[in-house]
Chain A
Amino acid sequence: MFSALGNLQPRQLAAQILNFALVLSTAFMLWKGLSVFTNSSSPIVVVLSGSMEPAFQRGDLLFLWNRGQETQVGEIVVYNVRGKDIPIVHRVIRRFGGGSAPLQLLTKGDNNAADDTELYARGQSYLDRSKDVIGSVVGYVPFVGYVTILLSEYPWLKTAMLGFMALTVVLQRE
């Protein structure tokens, strides 16, 4: 199998490697393009916990939109806790400010007993719409995100998948 690679001229080998590199970079640029379009650093997120049941289950894939700055009470937003890299998907239950004043939000998971004040960073009692919120949920697909959960819980899966992809693309010459 690999002997087929050895028989290639250097330019052809470069062309095969380019094919694989283009697969990766196109996937990445599509993701970045979607980020730019939605103005969100992470336009597609996976629900990791059951705090929004029965609306969202663990493993659901959510599509975000970050260009509406006037978030209303009742909208579901995804935000990052300051200092941590965990996105949380909860519903807005109160808002302060808005218009010319910076918009501040209080959130709570539908399935939680208390609001998110406990979850925010120490000293933080509200979310800043422009700084903390990644986007509001505009659509979702159930279950599909479970693959991402598996990939993050078993990191060797990521390497295995990437290695397999690399092998097939570089050795295939269709």
Chain B
Amino acid sequence: MADTKISPHSLAELKNTTDDALGNYLRGLKFEQDNTKLDVRLAIGYASVIIAAATFAADYKLGWEATKTWTAVAVVAYALLNGAFTYWMWAVEKGCVFAGVREGKKISVASKTKKHDPTYYLTISSANSESRQITAPFTTWFTADGYFVAKPFQQWLASSVEAIGNADSKNALRDQRDEIASPSPEVELTPQGNGTVDASGTDGKSKGSKRSKRKG
């Protein structure tokens, strides 16, 4: 992955290379990628292209007069499909670069960049928690002349996102993780003395059990 050199001054290339690396990394961690959003976009897009191609073929073979009505219908259909395409990209995909499942837990990652700002903004939503935004400057994983280095990128992801850190313990730096990650809801329900149950997961016992799991 460090073989391709990109221009470190082009925000689009930085973002696209990082997005691709993110996908490769997560797929390598055995996240099953869910391609539904992209598939729907491709379906809408290619449907409109096919309509345009059919109109072109009909016009080429039969001429203008014979195909006038069909062309009018096709133009309207094309405009509607293109509108749906744009809407899909803008409202539904919203910058999503990866959506997948691992061990039953869904994760959805959307990325964005702001103009003239060399920072990578990631919005991560898992099935069991709210969406969080994490950011890091591109310089964290790009060299000055434009080579992508995988290690710091993977470390940043594994330390900042619980689901990824769980999958890739080698890159997850434990102290950073415990600091940043919200308490895991799959903690065991600890019975209190007065008959109620404490599920907050913030007591020392569950943290300790996490730690011992890590060592083992």
Contacts and interface: CB of A to CB of B under 8 A. Distances in A.
B78 A35 contact: no
A29 B79 CA distance: 9
A29 B78 contact: yes
A29 B75 contact: yes
B45 A18 contact: yes
A8 B20 contact: yes
A89 to B, nearest CB: 18
Interface residues of B, number: 32
Interface residues of A, number: 26
Contact of A25 (B4, B41, B52, B63): B52
B19 to A, nearest CB: 9
B52 A29 contact: yes
Contact of A18 (B46, B56, B64): B46
B123 interface: no
B78 A11 contact: no
A21 B56 contact: no
B74 interface: yes
B64 A35 contact: yes
B108 interface: no
B95 to A, nearest CB: 14
B138 to A, nearest CB: 16
B154 interface: no
Contact of A174 (B12, B53, B82): B12
Interface string A10-42: 011011001001101110110011011001010
Interface string B1-20: 00010000000110010001
A84 interface: no
A36 B46 contact: no
Interface of B: 4, 12-13, 16, 20, 23, 35, 38-39, 41-42, 45-46, 48-49, 52-53, 55-56, 59, 63-65, 68, 71-72, 74-75, 78-79, 82, 85
The 6 closest A-B pairs by CB, nearest first: A25-B52, A41-B64, A33-B75, A174-B12, A18-B45, A21-B49
Interface of A: 3-4, 7-9, 11-12, 14-15, 18, 21-22, 24-26, 28-29, 32-33, 35-36, 39, 41, 172-174
Given A11-B42, A21-B49, A41-B63, 6 more contacts: A18-B46, A25-B48, A28-B56, A29-B75, A29-B79, A32-B59
